[in-house]
Amino acid sequence: MLPPSNESTVLVCRVEAYSTPCFTGVYISNGNGLNGLNRVRGWVLVPSGNNNGNSWIRVGLNGNHLRIYTVVATIPSYYWVPGLLAYFTLTFYALLQRVRIGHRRVLYDPSIVTMALLIVLTTNALLVGAVYVDQATPRYNLPGLSISWHFNLEESTLKATLDLGGVYELVNASCRARLNGNGLNGNGRAFELNVSIISENIVVATIPSYIYELLFNSTTREPIPPIPANLSVYAAIPIQCRFTLDKAIFESTYLATFYWRDLVLHIVKSSVLVNNPNPVGVNTTIYIVDLERGRLLNSTSVLIRPLSSVWIDLGVYGAGVYRVIVQYDLLGLVRTRVVEVAVSQEEG
């Protein structure tokens, strides 16, 4: 085999199990020449066939079943095809004439059968053999699309940012929350969320408060392991979103996760701040005890709203040492938080 030079005309054949399709093109070397297996590395430029002389398709030569041959001479098809057809026609006509006068029997004459097969094979090669058929597994390069999520428990929103790759255009979006559990009829329920498209690729879904309440009631009915000093129970809301694009439909699911937690008590000078970190309201009973006098000063029931706080001002009782006891029910468990605060004469 004569190694091809750069930009020379070559014949490339793919050796298959039952056929060997070939095509011609212009060889472009990648600088490596022949490798140890005596195979040429590079590309072949093939006309695209769209009647544009400047349009080419680049075909790689890295396949193990490819063979490449240097074209040293070419005869235009408009020269050799008519001549070959004329030769076959005259030869076949001469054989038929000999058959007609009785010198040959068609079915038993090897020359006639061989000529007929040769004509059929040549015609098939002219019609099909010169056309390159790529039998490799097709590969599709689809435009990419990705999504990033951000869940904000304080605002009760889920923001989805789509990377449309400059190919797609967002048309519409819808989201729904699906809850499962014993408190939700056992099979789960889906709730449509309010969705807003705030830009060309950003969607915000708002989770209503009753979703958290349903999840809270469902979790309350589930058994909880031994009570820890600081309660923290994992919770998740599966949210399914469907994005309608101009050329496709994209669906994705996100788990909005958070924790059911104990109330948190903070001492701020002569006051106590009781914070509820949960997205549901918590009913509490607050006791204020005067430790110096040994008596109960106040007892009141307060609903601490979701993700909010209440203040307990001990300065109104004057100087002294006070114990604040906060009792509440969380996930079916009675919880108690206690702090002691000393109030000076200046603060009282």
Report the pLDDT value the prediction gives residue 184, as an integer from 0 to 100. Answer: 39
Report the pLDDT value the prediction gives residue 241, as an integer from 0 to 100. Answer: 94
Residue 121 phi/psi, 5-degree rounding, is -65, -40
CA–CA separation, 99 vs 106, rounded Å? Answer: 7
The CATH topology of domain 264-343 is: Immunoglobulin-like (2.60.40)
Report the pLDDT value the prediction gives residue 179, as an integer from 0 to 100. Answer: 83
Do 146-261 and 264-343 show the same overall fold?
Answer: yes
What are the C-alpha distances in Å from 190 to residues 100, 178, 317? 87, 4, 51
Q: Could you say which architecture CATH assigns to the domain 146-261?
A: Sandwich (2.60)
Report the pLDDT value the prediction gives residue 138, as an integer from 0 to 100. Answer: 54
Two tokens, residue 22? 């070939």
List the alpha helices (DSSP H) in the chain.
Answer: 77-100, 110-124, 209-220
Q: What are the residue ranges spanned by the domains of the chain?
A: 9-70, 77-129, 146-261, 264-343
CA dihedral 61, 67, 72, 77 (to 10 degrees): -90
Report the pLDDT value the prediction gives residue 327, as an integer from 0 to 100. Answer: 94
Walk along the chain (348 residues) in steps of 10 and give the mean pLDDT of each run.
56 61 63 44 57 54 62 71 75 71 59 69 62 54 80 95 87 90 54 93 94 87 62 90 89 93 92 95 95 92 95 91 93 90 79
Are 41 and 23 in contact, with CB atoms under 8 Å apart? no
**CA dihedral sign, ordered 84, 86, 91, 93:** positive
Are 13 and 20 in contact, with CB atoms under 8 Å apart? yes
